[in-house]
Amino acid sequence: MTNDQKLATIKTILEDGGDVPSDEKLTTYLDVAGSEILAWIYHLVGGVPTGVSDVPAKYDQTHIYAVIAGYTHAGAEGQSVHIENGVHRHFSYNDMLGYIHDNVLPIVRVGAIG
């Protein structure tokens, strides 16, 4: 799935909530989430290999929902509950990074590296 397809999907999902953020803002979220997904996948094996820049297809949906989690959580960073004017909002994840870390499996190696 291309980033343009992911962007269109995100905009469609967020449309139900009223105002849709700009393409520039959502593209920034996509870029940040994509970088974190790759960093998390490879963090136990020495970092992202040279030449790897695309999120693996199996994580396309995770990429999309990480952006949605990050965007909808803006302004309430680090909170698991937000109460304002009697309205209670409960968040499953503290932020976009928490969503990624809970839904992306890192690659691991057994034995000596060398």
Residue 20: exposure state from Cβ atoms within 10 A (0-12, 13-18, ≥19): middle
Per-residue pLDDT for 4 more than 90?
A: yes
Per-residue pLDDT for 73 more than 80?
A: no
Q: How far apart are CA 41 and CA 64, in angstroms?
A: 16
Q: What's the whole-number average pLDDT of the chain?
A: 84
Q: Average of pLDDT values for 70-85?
A: 63
| pLDDT tens-digit map of 19-61 | 788 899 999 999 999 999 999 999 999 999 999 999 999 999 9
| pLDDT tens-digit map of 7-21 | 999 999 988 766 788
